[in-house]
């Protein structure tokens, strides 16, 4: 049996804080060998860029400003994601005995836990078998299509995830929309073409009723507990840890010097 630390943010937080906390948890996992499971959501609409994306190719910054959409850059790769009315999860660990030592292996195990959580909620969730040709090299937003081992419901992508690794240590985080916001995504991003919104979905759409953040998180936590056969211990940041997170936030995620420039993986 393995104990994990659980961080369940019940109130929405700014995007820069959310990204700084995830980086802090990655560092903690790398340095201490601890495993963290976190759930959080967003104070206002926020577009997150993959670390290697060129802003001008994927986002309309004028439209973001006009519509009050914040922009952050993740420490992970992948495509642009619009975060707002959603559940976001992150898992940080250095335990290869639990997650394997590969990106693909750990990604699949975490996806299986997420699938189980959605199934407990009553959804026919499963893993996508393959990545559509050309999608990986495109500028399409993250939720345009499901890729291999991502979570889909009735053929539509339900969760978009990305991972960063350093040796045995990794962080994987992902977006689980509670409500579709296709019009806003289409307005602020490039590459989404007419008709593609039919391939996008949300938990509320698939269940045919409004699904709240707190409800969804409880099912997802149970999915992780059952998949990995774990207990979880609630984790609260100490004042010293909050200071470290604030410093990460100031130096990176709240700064345009970080957000506005494409990064090589080694810079993250």
Q: From 137, 156, 145, select the one nearest 193 (Cα to Cα).
A: 145
pLDDT computed for residue 1 by the predictor:
52
Of all residues in the chain, the percent with pLDDT exceeding 90 is 81
- Measured CA to CA, the distance from residue 53 to residue 260 in angstroms comes to 10
Angle at CA of residue 263, ends 257 and 267, nearest 5° = 95
Whether 158 has a pLDDT exceeding 80, the answer reads yes
The whole-chain average pLDDT of the chain stands at 90
- Measured CA to CA, the distance from residue 245 to residue 38 in angstroms comes to 15
Of 1-15, 106-120, 160-174, 208-222, the least confident: 1-15
The single residue of 47, 92, 142, 169 carrying the catalytic annotation is: 142
Of all residues in the chain, the percent with pLDDT exceeding 70 is 88
pTM: 0.91
- Measured CA to CA, the distance from residue 119 to residue 107 in angstroms comes to 18
Indicate the domain borders of the chain.
2-267
pLDDT computed for residue 128 by the predictor:
86
Q: From 124, 119, 99, select the one nearest 109 (Cα to Cα).
A: 99
Name the class of domain 2-267: alpha beta
Question: Is 142 tagged catalytic?
Answer: yes
pLDDT computed for residue 134 by the predictor:
47
């Amino acid at each position: 049996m393995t104990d994990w630390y659980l961080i369940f943010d019940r109130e929405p937080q700014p995007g820069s804080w959310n990204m700084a906390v995830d980086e802090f948890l990655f560092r903690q996992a790398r340095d201490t060998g601890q495993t963290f499971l976190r759930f959080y959501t967003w104070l206002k609409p926020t577009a997150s860029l993959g670390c290697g994306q060129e802003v001008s190719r994927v986002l309309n910054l004028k439209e973001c400003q006009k519509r009050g959409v914040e922009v952050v850059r993740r420490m992970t790769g992948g495509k642009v994601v619009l975060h707002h009315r959603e559940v976001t999860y992150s898992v940080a660990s250095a335990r290869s005995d639990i997650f394997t030592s590969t990106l693909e292996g750990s990604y699949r195990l975490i996806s299986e836990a997420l699938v189980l959580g959605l199934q407990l909620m009553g959804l026919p969730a499963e893993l996508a078998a393959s990545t559509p040709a050309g999608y990986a090299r495109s500028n399409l937003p993250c939720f345009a299509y499901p890729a291999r081992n991502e979570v889909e419901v009735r053929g539509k992508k339900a969760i978009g995830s990305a991972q960063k690794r350093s040796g045995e240590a990794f962080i994987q985080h992902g977006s689980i929309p509670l409500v579709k916001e296709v019009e806003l995504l289409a307005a602020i991003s490039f590459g989404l073409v007419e008709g593609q919104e039919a391939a996008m979905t949300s938990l509320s759409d698939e269940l045919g009723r409004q699904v709240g953040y707190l409800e969804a998180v409880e099912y997802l936590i149970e999915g992780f507990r059952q998949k990995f056969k774990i207990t979880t211990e609630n984790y609260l940041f100490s004042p010293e840890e909050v200071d470290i997170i604030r410093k990460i936030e100031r130096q990176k995620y709240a700064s345009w010097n970080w957000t506005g420039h494409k990064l090589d993986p080694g810079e993250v």
